[in-house]
């Protein structure tokens, strides 16, 4: 029960602080050493491991699990981090159920994969707790590189470049580094300020300086960076949010889901964060699920995700959809928003039923309304402030192999660049690969 009188509309203090603490505790508690050994013993250590092929960063999964099984989790962590320097966060947020674990031989044969994600977390957490950094910098090259964006792609690129001996300056528009890991992930997936702890640990390689509060376009120009640095990597993500473009979209309490998630991530007191009793989330991706689930965990009574196509077309995985419904979220499919109604503040969202035949979405003309005192837009994000001279494709920076753009000396990766999935692990891989190409270019290899 709530510890405050009934309040319609959005309001704080929907639930007692003790309940909120439980609701936002670690979604997957870490494995104890004995549990990790038992989980590792289930691995067949396949020679041509399908899990390794399915990993965007190509981590040698059989090797690191064998290292855990033989009692050397620190060595396992180094195996992971050589390919994915943000392996700790990826172990928490990577959709392993649709990547490495989906193709695990145990999953195919028994319906229960080796817990690769939790084993990866066990290894990386063990190493980070030892207060050591497994990599050393090479001799200084005298080269400097500017990285725009302190998210997964930028941090991965910066670390690999610093390890090669280059000096790196990372610029980010936000007050804190971390990007999506800091501002855009559900709080129950990354607890105890892990995102910042991982950034601090990563910076121990040396040779990296981070300057926050500096955005490309407003505070920095690409021409300036190209003149002052030997190379530039763009990894600033997608700062723009797609609008619904519907009547009533400007009503009070109709806001972007990414802003709600960011506010929640930075909130010192979850009880003080207001939430509605009737929440509607428009969209079908991970952002929609994260906003919906966290609304429910904050004390919203009725939360609905509305998606215009069928469930099989949702960007959110089946696992994430099941997580949402297990928390009491209702998922409506084949419904598209028509208008937001209310006198000043949103009170109802009107939807139209749709059909999706042959990839063509068509409205049926039949409409209905859902009560809503809070509505979150989660229909995708877009690139804003792309510098002149860069070629765009699909609204993103066009890149070739290893993240090369059409401008000499400029690379790009992560969500702001074309190609790949909008996943943390993919961004890490793209930042790493761009760093290798930048290094080879700068050293004339």
pLDDT at 7 over 60: no
Which part of the chain is CATH 1.10.1060.10? 33-129
The superfamily in CATH containing domain 242-377 is FAD/NAD(P)-binding domain (3.50.50.60)
What pTM was computed for the model? 0.94
CA distance 350 to 251: 14
292: number of Cβ within 10 Å: 31
Instruction: Taking the CA atoms of 299, 301, 307 and 310 in sequence, report the sign of the dihedral they define.
Output: positive
Burial of 351 (0-12, 13-18, 19+ CB in 10 A): buried
Q: Which fold has domain 144-239+383-442?
A: FAD/NAD(P)-binding domain (3.50.50)
pLDDT at 2 over 50: no
pLDDT at 326 over 90: yes
Residue 359 or 148, more confident: 148
What is the average pLDDT across 245-270? 95
The model's confidence at residue 8, banded by pLDDT at 50, 70 and 90, is: low
pLDDT at 6 over 60: no
pLDDT at 315 over 80: yes
Q: Please name the residue that has the structure tokens 């145990």.
A: 106
| 392-420 tens-digit pLDDT | 999 999 999 899 999 999 999 999 999 87
What is the pLDDT of the chain when averaged over all its residues?
Answer: 95
For the domain 33-129, what is the CATH code?
1.10.1060.10
Which part of the chain is CATH 3.50.50.60? 144-239+383-442, 242-377
pLDDT of residue 1: 35
CA distance 12 to 444: 58
> Exposed e or buried b for every residue in 306-327, given b needs 16+ CB within 10 A?
bbbbeeeebbbbeebbebbeeb
pLDDT at 3 over 50: no
| 259-273 tens-digit pLDDT | 999 999 999 999 999
| Spatial contact of 408 and 231, defined as CB atoms under 8 Å apart | no
What lies within 8 Å, CB to CB, of 84 at 6+ separation is 57, 59, 90, 156, 425, 428, 429, 432
């Amino acid at each position: 029960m709530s510890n405050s009188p009934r309040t319609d509309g959005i309001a704080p203090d929907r639930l007692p602080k003790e309940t909120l603490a439980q609701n936002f505790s670690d979604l997957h508690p870490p494995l104890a050493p004995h549990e990790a050994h038992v989980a590792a013993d289930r691995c067949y250590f396949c020679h041509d491991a399908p899990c390794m092929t399915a990993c965007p960063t190509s981590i040698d999964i059989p090797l690191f699990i064998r290292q855990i099984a033989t009692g050397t989790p620190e060595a396992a962590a180094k195996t992971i981090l050589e390919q994915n320097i943000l392996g700790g966060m990826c172990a928490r947020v990577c959709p392993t159920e649709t990547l490495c674990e989906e193709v695990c031989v145990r999953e195919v044969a028994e319906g229960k994969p080796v817990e690769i994600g939790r084993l990866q977390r066990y290894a990386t957490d063990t190493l980070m707790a030892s207060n050591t950094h497994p990599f050393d910098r090479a001799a200084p090259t005298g080269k400097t590189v500017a990285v725009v964006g302190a998210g997964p792609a930028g941090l991965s690129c910066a670390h690999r470049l610093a390890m090669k001996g280059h000096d790196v300056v990372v610029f980010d528009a936000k007050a804190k580094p971390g990007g999506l890991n800091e501002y855009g992930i559900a709080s129950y997936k990354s607890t105890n300020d892990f995102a910042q702890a991982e950034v601090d640990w990563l910076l121990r390689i040396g040779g990296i300086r981070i300057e926050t509060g500096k955005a490309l376009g407003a505070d920095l120009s690409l021409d300036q960076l190209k003149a002052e640095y030997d190379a530039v990597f763009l990894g600033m993500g997608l700062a723009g949010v797609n609008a619904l473009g519907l009547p009533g979209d400007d009503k009070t309490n109709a806001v972007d889901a990414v802003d709600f998630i960011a506010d929640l991530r930075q909130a010192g007191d979850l009880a003080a964060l207001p939430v509605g009793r009737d929440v509607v989330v428009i969209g079908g991706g991970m952002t929609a699920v994260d906003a919906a689930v966290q609304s429910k965990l904050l004390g919203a009574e009725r939360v609905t995700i509305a998606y215009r196509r069928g469930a099989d077309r949702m960007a959110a995985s089946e696992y994430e959809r099941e997580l949402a419904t297990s928390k009491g979220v209702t998922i409506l499919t084949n419904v598209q928003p028509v208008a937001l109604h209310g006198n000043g503040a949103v009170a109802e969202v009107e939807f139209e039923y749709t059909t999706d035949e042959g990839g063509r979405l068509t409205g049926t003309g039949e409409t209905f309304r859902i009560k809503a005192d809070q509505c979150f837009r989660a229909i995708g994000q877009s690139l804003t402030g792309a510098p002149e001279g860069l070629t765009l494709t699909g609204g993103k920076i066009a890149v070739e192999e290893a993240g090369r753009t059409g401008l000499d000396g400029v690379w790009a990766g992560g969500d702001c660049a074309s190609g790949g999935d909008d996943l943390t692990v993919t961004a890490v891989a793209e930042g790493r690969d761009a760093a290798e190409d930048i290094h080879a270019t700068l050293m004339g290899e």
